[in-house]
Amino acid sequence: MDMFIKITFLVVFFVVMIGVGIYCRKQATDVNGFVLGNRSVGPWLTAFAFGTSYFSAVIFVGYAGQFGWRFGLASTWIGLGNALVGSLMAWRILGRRTRVMTQHLDTATMPDFFFKRYDSKALKITASIIIFIFLIPYTASLYNGLSRLFEMAFGIPYTYCVIAMALLTGVYVVLGGYMATAINDFIQGIIMLGGIIAVIVAVLKVNGGFNETIALLSQQSVILPSGAEFKGAYTSFFGPDVVALIGVVLLTSLGTWGLPQMVQKFYAIKSEKSINTGTIVSTIFALIVAGGCYFLGGFGRLFGKMGEDGIKPEGGYDSVIPAMLEQLSPVLIGIVVILVLSASMSTLSSLVLTSSSVLTIDFIDPVFCTKQSLSEKKKVLLMRVFIIFFITVSAVIAIIQVKSPVLFISQMMGVSWGALAGAFLAPFMYGLYLKKVPKVAVWVNFVMGVGISVASFVCNLTGVKFESAVMEYFRSPINAGMLAMVLGIVITPIITVISPAKDTERTDNIFSCYKRKVTVSAVKAMADDENN
């Protein structure tokens, strides 16, 4: 009976997802429809698409498990940062300007934006290569957390879980494109909202309720580098390591501003008016989902067992959340599986759609079709082929990676997130606000973002240790990504100030979209003459 309940949840979920793909297939006949939903997606769908692309199994299993174990309840700050900085400020600062300028420039992807904003085909091609390379490990990380939960709930081998998720996602994205993804994201978002609340209540009940669970966690202590014992470290306001906590908050919150799959959601929103509604909905969604995930992860030490090294949990950080959920009822486990399946598939669909569109529009077409651009039908066909390609490659990497002791979920995501956000955040954001940003500033960001993240990855891969505490801090992929973003934000305006203004007429035309003139009918034919 227990297994029947779980399987019923899955079957209904799968039927709905595929049904949406079939329903939306008529709107995915050209590039604008397939990639942007004809720029007619409403605020609620866009807000949920933004949120569900933001939070995946990487957050629920990987990040919540790792940072909940390291910081305790203070890891909730990460969720709050995701809501206020990653959602609220992202919508306020980037939303309207992105929607207006990208429509004015007629761009469908981030590399195409760099091409038309900075007048450089080389930037477009380079950006597409960066996205192609670094979205694959990010995509692969999504399978891992979900498949661990499937093994716990159904006893299904990891490989079969990966294949099933890849096939299902591929079907509805290939059929319906962005609109199918947006509608499914909305459905999946509702599941995530209800699921995370139900799971938190159930997990707290395991130890007698909220107060009892907090009391148990407060008995956990940590030995600080100075040798002093920090009692109640995991229930304290900022946790046992506030410096590391700040780095995680910055990367996971500010990073969304430079991720192509996130920013692209602003391209497709229906109108400027929809942005206000989308801002509120997206922020509330992030508060509940991200805040709930990290709050839940903060109790990980009450469920996971300490490993032999006395630092990491037995089975690694990715085992913390599954260990926590094993004690739940079959119905709740079924809800959790659907919750994480929803989170993972929504992000996966967004990533593969972004990757395929970028590779087709910004690399294949300009590099190999120099004499005549591909037709709309051929571009859409190519994108569908590349969606299958990306899903297949990432699934293979996920199957291989699970046997590797080098990288766990959050590390894979950290490397990808750091490289993409470090390379794109500053030139994209400043490109919306500052007319004088030169091409050289964009190149500096590309090199710096990718260089710092790759260097961190190599150091971790080879086991390099640094005597300097500062260097050792930035050896972490998460802290390295944060450094790349902050440096880009600081350096780009400096380069802009010292660079001479060029092609002012072209940039003036680009920025004219923010001051579009409109003609209205006067209410009165003649103004009142106050002197008479």
SS3 state of residue 311 = coil
Categorise residue 37: left if φ over 0, alpha if ψ from -120 to 50, beta otherwise. Answer: left
| Lookup result for tokens 């992000």 | 347
pLDDT tops 90 at residue 34 = no
Q: Which residue has the higher pLDDT, 303 or 367?
A: 303
SS3 state of residue 47 = helix
| Lookup result for tokens 């319906």 | 176
Task: Answer whether 489's CB lies under 8 Å from 426's CB.
Answer: yes
pLDDT, residue 79, reads 93
Task: Answer whether 267's CB lies under 8 Å from 39's CB.
Answer: yes
Q: How many helices (H) and strands (E) does the chain have?
A: 24, 2
The residue count for the chain? 532
First vs last Cα of the chain: how many Å apart? 89
pLDDT, residue 146, reads 65
How far, in Å, CA of 388 to CA of 27, rounded?
20
Q: Which residue has the higher pLDDT, 496 or 350?
A: 496
pLDDT, residue 409, reads 53
Chain-centroid distance, C-alpha 400? 23
Give the pLDDT mean for 384-407.
Answer: 76
- Percent helix, strand, coil in the chain, to 5, is 80, 0, 20
Please write down the long-range contacts of 99-103, taking CB distance under 8 Å and 24 or more positions apart: 99/266, 99/267, 99/269, 99/272, 99/275, 100/272, 100/513, 100/514, 101/432, 101/510, 101/513, 101/514, 102/266, 102/267, 103/39, 103/267, 103/513
Q: How confident is the model at residue 525 (pLDDT cuts 50, 70, 90)?
A: very low
Give the pLDDT mean for 43-53.
Answer: 84
Could you tell me which of 195, 191, 193, 176 has the C-alpha nearest to residue 349? 176
Kindly report the number of other CB atoms within 10 A of residue 472's CB atom: 14
How far, in Å, CA of 423 to CA of 421, rounded?
5
pLDDT in tens, 149-201: 676 666 777 787 788 878 888 888 888 887 888 888 888 888 888 888 888 88
Amino acid at the residue 405: P
Query: Please, what is the angle between helix 110-118 and helix 121-154, to 10°?
Result: 160
Q: Which residue has the higher pLDDT, 504 or 407?
A: 504
pLDDT in tens, 78-103: 999 999 999 999 999 999 999 899 98
pLDDT tops 80 at residue 389 = yes
DSSP code for 501? P
Give the H or E element holding residue 104: helix 96-105
SS3 state of residue 517 = coil
Q: Say what the alpha-carbon torsion angle 11, 13, 17, 18 is, to the nearest 10 degrees.
A: 10
Amino acid at the residue 281: V
Amino acid at the residue 124: K
Query: How many CA atoms lie within 13 Å of 148's alpha carbon, on the beta-carbon side?
Result: 28
pLDDT in tens, 473-485: 777 777 888 889 9
Q: Which residues pair with 221 in a beta bridge?
A: 231
pLDDT, residue 424, reads 95
SS3 state of residue 447 = helix
How far, in Å, CA of 483 to CA of 84, rounded?
20
Q: Which residues pair with 231 in a beta bridge?
A: 221
Q: Say what the alpha-carbon torsion angle 69, 72, 74, 80 is, to the nearest 10 degrees.
A: 60
For 315-337, b/e burial (b = at least 16 CB within 10 A) is ebbbbbbbbbbeebeeebbbbbb
How far, in Å, CA of 492 to CA of 437, rounded?
8
How far, in Å, CA of 288 to CA of 449, rounded?
31
Q: Which residue has the higher pLDDT, 441 or 406?
A: 441
How far, in Å, CA of 402 to CA of 425, rounded?
30
Q: How confident is the model at residue 325 (pLDDT cuts 50, 70, 90)?
A: confident
Task: Answer whether 108's CB lies under 8 Å from 31's CB.
Answer: yes
pLDDT, residue 370, reads 66
Q: Say what the alpha-carbon torsion angle 285, 288, 289, 293 is, to the nearest 10 degrees.
A: 160
Chain-centroid distance, C-alpha 470? 27
Could you tell me which of 140, 119, 118 has the C-alpha nearest to residue 62? 140
Domains and CATH numbers, the chain: 2-511 (1.20.1730.10)
